[in-house]
């Protein structure tokens, strides 16, 4: 690993932030032809589509779309796949997304310059830490 690659490596914020759950991952996927066809036909590279999917599902603030319908459809997809339902009720999962949306909606935009954006990023990280711990420590949740 070169010095540049080491410098780009993201710092771990949690004990569990490694291996399968490491934030900085290089994924090697075999993409279904149908997915590739759609990407090529729409001129959207697969990495861009996957990145946008993750940001929309996670209610990211700085790449936030104005279209709430997209985020709502992804919530329905997430619930429809049954993700997390052995630990949380559907209502709790919907509440999780509602809270992520509230945090994501706080993005200051260009209004305050880089100083405000940096301050926002620090607070956002604290909100996300609180949010994660709150849901991870729920009584029904098992590690």
How do the domains of the chain map onto residue ranges?
31-103+111-136
Entry pTM: 0.79
Write the pLDDT tens digit of every residue in 104-122: 888 776 676 788 878 888 8
| Helix (H) or strand (E) run with residue 78 in it | helix 68-80
| Helix (H) or strand (E) run with residue 74 in it | helix 68-80
Q: Among all chains, which residue has been given the structure tokens 């420590």? A: 137
- Cβ(132)–Cβ(103) below 8 Å: no
Write the pLDDT tens digit of every residue in 38-86: 999 999 999 999 988 998 898 877 666 677 888 899 999 999 999 999 9
What's the pLDDT band for 142 if we cut at 50, 70, 90?
low
17, pLDDT greater than 80: yes
What's the token pair of residue 87?
A: 């630990």
What's the pLDDT band for 24 if we cut at 50, 70, 90?
confident
- Cβ(124)–Cβ(103) below 8 Å: yes
What's the pLDDT band for 13 if we cut at 50, 70, 90?
confident
Alpha-carbon span 31 to 54, nearest angstrom: 16
């Amino acid at each position: 690993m070169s010095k540049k690659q080491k410098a780009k490596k993201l710092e771990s914020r949690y004990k569990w932030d490694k291996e399968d759950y490491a934030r900085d991952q290089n994924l090697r996927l075999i993409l279904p032809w149908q997915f590739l066809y759609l990407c090529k036909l729409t001129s959207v590279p697969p990495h861009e589509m996957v990145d946008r999917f993750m940001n929309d599902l996670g209610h990211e603030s700085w790449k936030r779309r104005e279209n709430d319908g997209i985020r709502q459809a992804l919530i329905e997809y997430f619930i429809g796949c049954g993700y997390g339902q052995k630990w949380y009720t559907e209502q709790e999962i919907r509440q999780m997304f509602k809270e992520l949306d509230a945090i994501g909606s706080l993005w200051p935009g260009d209004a305050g310059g880089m100083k405000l954006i940096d301050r926002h990023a620090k607070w956002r990280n604290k909100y996300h830490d609180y949010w994660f711990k709150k849901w991870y420590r729920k009584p029904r949740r098992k590690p």
